[in-house]
Structure 1
Amino acid sequence: MRPTSLAIMTISASLLAQPALAISRYNTTQLTCDQVRQRVINEGAAILRYPSTRVKNMTLYDRYVTRTALCDPHEYAERAYVPTKDTARCPVLNCQDYDPESRRFNFGKPIVRF
C-alpha cells in the first residue's frame, strides 16, 4: 500500500470515528420564550435547563426537539413547557416513550407541531 493511500485511509477513519457534534445547552430562565424556541428551531434539538419548582436548588433538564423525527424510534415529540425569563410556561417539544398498545384506534405516532 502506498503511503498516500495509507494516509488518506487513516484520516478518513479518524474523521468517521469522531463523536457527533455536541448538543447545545441553554438556561431557560436567562432567555425569553421566543429566544428559547428560536434556538431549538435553529439547532433541531437542544438541552434546556431550568430550576425545579418543587425541590429547592435542584436543576432540571431535558432534550427538546422540533419534530418526532429527531427522537429515538420508540419515542415521539410531545408538547412540554419550560419556564423562561418572560413566562412560566413556554411551549416546546420533548421526546416521550411511544406505546402503540395504548393508542388502539389511532394509527402511528401522534404528530405535534412545534
Structure 2
Amino acid sequence: MTRLLTIALAATTLAAPAHAISRYNAQGMSCNAVQAAVQREGAVILRWRSPRNPSLPLYDRYVSGGRFCAVGEVAVGSSVPTRDDQSCYVLKCRSYERENVFPFRD
C-alpha cells in the first residue's frame, strides 16, 4: 500500500503543470522595466513590431541567465526595441558548437 501511494505521489508530481511564461510588448515598456521583468521571472517572451514592416510582429524568448537555457545552449547578449531605447540589452538562449565556445581546448 505504501509503495502504491509513493508511486501515485510521484506520478502526480510529474504531471503537475509547468508555469506559463509571461509575454510582454517591449515597445510599450521602458528598457529598465523590460530588464526588471526578465530578472524577476527568469524567462519571458518579448514582442515588438518589425521596423521594416510594422504590420509584422516579431518575438523571442529572453532569459536572465544561462540556467534558463536548454542543454546545448548558452545565454548570449541581444537587444530589443523599447519605448525609450532602440537597443535595450537583454540575454537570449542560442545553441552553440563546441569549437566556437572553447576554441583553444583539445
TM-score norm. by structure 2 comes to 0.83
1:23 aligns to what? 21
User: Quick one: structure 1 residues 85 and 106, their matched pair in 2 at CA, closer, same or farther if it must change by over 3 Å?
Assistant: farther
Within 5 A, what are the aligned runs for 1:65-84?
65-84=63-82
Residue correspondences, number: 104
2:39 aligns to what? 41
Unaligned runs of 5+ in 2: none
Please state how far the C-alpha of 1:24 moved relative to its aligned partner. Answer: 0.4
Once superposed, what is the RMSD of the aligned Cα atoms?
Answer: 2.3
Alpha-carbon separation, structure 1, partners of 2:8 and 2:53? 50
Alpha-carbon separation, structure 1, partners of 2:60 and 2:41? 15
Please state how far the C-alpha of 1:62 moved relative to its aligned partner. Answer: 0.7
Within 5 A, what are the aligned runs for 1:96-111?
96-103=94-101, 104-105=103-104
Give percent identity, aligned residues only. 43
Please state how far the C-alpha of 1:13 moved relative to its aligned partner. Answer: 3.6
Alpha-carbon separation, structure 2, partners of 1:21 and 1:99? 30
Unaligned runs of 5+ in 1: 108-114
**3-state SS of 2:27 partner:** helix
Please state how far the C-alpha of 1:106 moved relative to its aligned partner. Answer: 6.2
